[in-house]
Structure 1
Amino acid sequence: MANTYTQCYFHLVFAVTNRDALIQKKWKGQLEKYITGIIQDEGHKLLAINAMPDHIHIFIGYNLNQLIPNLVEQIKTSSNKWIKDSRLSKFQFSWQKVYGCFTHSNSQIDSVVKYILSQEQHHKKNTFKEEYLKILNQNDIKYDEKYLFDFWEDVFCD
């Protein structure tokens, strides 16, 4: 539509099933490039992406022509298949069904990009669960713990 302008920024977070540390450093860059291609093919602008061994952060300038759940499903389904077809993981790879999606303003772009790109340093101090709960609380999101990611560091074996 003529004279219609939008500006939306979304921070997506999702985790590997069982929070298994299956994303290896030797192919994480390839995974990030593959997901970048999906995002760009759908008309979104990738601002930052960083895969950790057990989860991923993606920050995009959002194209309103696609629903976020559809984009996340497309990223997860396509990347699962690509990882399997490329035989990158010795173990069965899949993403958890749940995900987080958080909005940011234009003035927050630099800080969110820096945050995502510094994940390795960040996780030397904080667990993924601590990080995710902090994001939920900072955004004043009410949540039920039973619907969050499977945080396996809470499980103790005898």
Structure 2
Amino acid sequence: MANTYTQLYVHLVFSVKGRESLIRKNWKKRLYEYIGGIINHKKSKPLAINGMADHIHIFIGYNPSTSLPDFVEEIKTSSNRFIKENFGLSTFAWQKGYGAFSYSRSQIDAVIKYIDRQEEHHCTKTFKEEYIKMLSDFQVDFKPAFLFDFVEQ
């Protein structure tokens, strides 16, 4: 085959180290725009980026020219540096690990709506509940001991 064609949609989820509430409303838009730039640079398409003070959701049209682990590492490393340099959080770090969930083209609008409405979802559900539900819905075999370090509020 002369060319390679793909259509991949991936929802990424990861949290701030120790689940600390460090992402501030007054600068999260700049952070999301910066992350969108990283995604574009990697020849993928940002479809939705949003989150809460302690975690982030990123939905992309994924170009597999970069492996997914390398792609996520680039987002985390570069945005970590951006936060430290621009918002004075010298100890900021993303937690190790991430969730990555694939969706079909027919689900794009629903996933974007879900990510855009994070504040609403978290009025009734914690991040821990949300994340475990995602893992369960996708039938991901996981061990609770290896999930993010959830800090009980």
Report how far residue 84 of structure 1 moved: 0.8
Give the structure-1-normalised TM-score: 0.93
Spell out, residue by residue over 1:37-80, the C-alpha distance to the aligned partner (whole angstroms, 9 max, x if none): 00000100111000310000000001010111001111111111
- Answer yes or no: is the 8 Å Cα contact 1:27–1:88 preserved in 2: no
CA RMSD of aligned residues (A): 1.3
In structure 2, the residue matched to 1:79 is 79
- Matching residue's letter, 2:106: S
Q: Secondary structure of 1:140's partner?
A: coil
**After superposition, where does 1:100-139 map in structure 2 within 5 Å?**
100-139=99-138
For structure 1, the residue ranges without an aligned partner over 5 or more in a row are: none
- Matching residue's letter, 1:17: K
- Aligned-partner Cα distance in 1 for 2:6–2:91: 40
- Answer yes or no: is the 8 Å Cα contact 1:8–1:61 preserved in 2: yes
In structure 2, the residue matched to 1:33 is 33
- Answer yes or no: is the 8 Å Cα contact 1:45–1:60 preserved in 2: yes
- Answer yes or no: is the 8 Å Cα contact 1:14–1:99 preserved in 2: yes
In structure 1, the residue matched to 2:5 is 5
For structure 2, the residue ranges without an aligned partner over 5 or more in a row are: none
Spell out, residue by residue over 1:5-41, the C-alpha distance to the aligned partner (whole angstroms, 9 max, x if none): 2100000000000100000000000000010000000
- Aligned-partner Cα distance in 1 for 2:3–2:37: 28
More off after superposition, 76-85 vs 12-21: 76-85
Q: Secondary structure of 1:49's partner?
A: strand
Percent identical: 56
Give the structure-2-normalised TM-score: 0.96
- Answer yes or no: is the 8 Å Cα contact 2:48–2:60 preserved in 1: yes
Report how far residue 95 of structure 1 moved: 0.2
**After superposition, where does 1:30-69 map in structure 2 within 5 Å?**
30-69=30-69
Deviating 4+ runs (over 3 angstroms): none
